[in-house]
Structure 1
Amino acid sequence: MRTIANLIWFLLGGVIMGLAWWFFGLLAFISIVGIPWGRSCFVIANFSFFPFGKEAISRDELTLNEDVGTGNFGMLGNVLWFIFAGFWLAIGHLFSAVACFVTIIGIPFALQHLKLAGISIAPIGKTIVSKEVAAAARYGNAHIKVQKLRSEK
């Protein structure tokens, strides 16, 4: 089912927003300073081309380790990203979501655009994984937190 949904998504508009991500990635690479953002743009462009069955998850939630992108530098990078590119990509995904919401059959596609709008606001510190991996990471983190709470008592 994911394959069919991804194919329909790609043919009916996903390619446009994926190309927008590539465009901002190329602009970031041209600036040299923006190479880390450009690399992220290409990863998220692939996510934008085929979003069904995938999810963006924070790297520290996945690995239980904080890194440069999930700390204060990541927050600063996300602010810069939002100012220069994230706002425009989020607007594009929001307009696409509204266009999809108009039809009943387009609601799952609109929800994917809203998911992508969220990641376009602050992509630094996130990674793209399958829904199953994201659920397993969240389950594992919850299990660890419960164990810590139980050991405190």
Structure 2
Amino acid sequence: MRLLLNLIWLVLCGLWMAIGYVIAALICFILIITIPFGIASLRIAAYALWPFGRMVVDDPSAGAPSLVGNVFWVVFAGWWLALGHLVTGVALCITIIGIPLGLANFKLIPVSLLPLGKQIVEVP
């Protein structure tokens, strides 16, 4: 079932979301000082590409720099991304077929809001 949902997700919205996150990562890499945000954006892109069967957990080795980075991220990009995922998720949940895709969008909200200090792991 996860494979089917991931394939539908990939075709309908996952590929476009991943491309957007990769473009944002490339911009962050060009600006050099924002490289940690670029790495986080690539992590979100990989998660947005194939979200079913994976989940976000806190990284136990993350410290104060992740907290400071997350504050900057929320102010400049995180709340826009979270709002976009919320609106898209609500729109997808209007139809019965779109409910699993809407729920996957809701799963992306925490990592798009606070990406630093997070890991994406496979669900057992």
Same fold, TM-score > 0.5, yes or no: yes
Instruction: State whether structure 2 residue 54 is matched by structure 1 residue 54.
Output: yes
Match of 2:123 among 123, 126, 131: 131
Corresponding position of 1:2: 2
In terms of fraction of residues, the more helix-rich structure is 1
Runs of at least 5 residues in structure 1 that lack an aligned partner in the other structure: 61-66, 133-153
Corresponding position of 1:35: 35
* Rg comparison, structure with higher value: 1
C-alpha distance in structure 1 between counterparts of 2:78 and 2:22, whole Å: 13
Per-residue CA deviation, residues 90-141 of structure 1 (Å, 9 max, x unaligned), is 1221121012111012111111101101110101111111012xxxxxxxxx
What aligned pairs does 1:1-153 form with structure 2 within 5 A after superposition?
A: 1-60=1-60, 67=61, 70-132=62-124
Structure 1 counterpart SS, 2:56 = strand
Which structure carries more relative contact order (alpha carbon 8 Å, separation 6+)?
2
C-alpha distance in structure 2 between counterparts of 1:87 and 1:27, whole Å: 19
Runs of at least 5 residues in structure 2 that lack an aligned partner in the other structure: none
C-alpha distance in structure 2 between counterparts of 1:5 and 1:126, whole Å: 24
**Shift of residue 30 of structure 1?**
1.4
**Shift of residue 78 of structure 1?**
0.4
C-alpha distance in structure 1 between counterparts of 2:25 and 2:74, whole Å: 14
Structure 2 counterpart SS, 1:105 = coil
Q: How many residues align?
A: 124
> Quick check: 1:21–1:89 contact (8 Å CA) kept in 2?
no
> Quick check: 1:54–1:128 contact (8 Å CA) kept in 2?
yes
TM-score, reference length from structure 1: 0.76
- The percent identity for this pair of structures is 42
Give the aligned CA root-mean-square deviation in angstroms: 1.2
Misfit runs of 4+, over 2 Å: none
TM-score, reference length from structure 2: 0.93
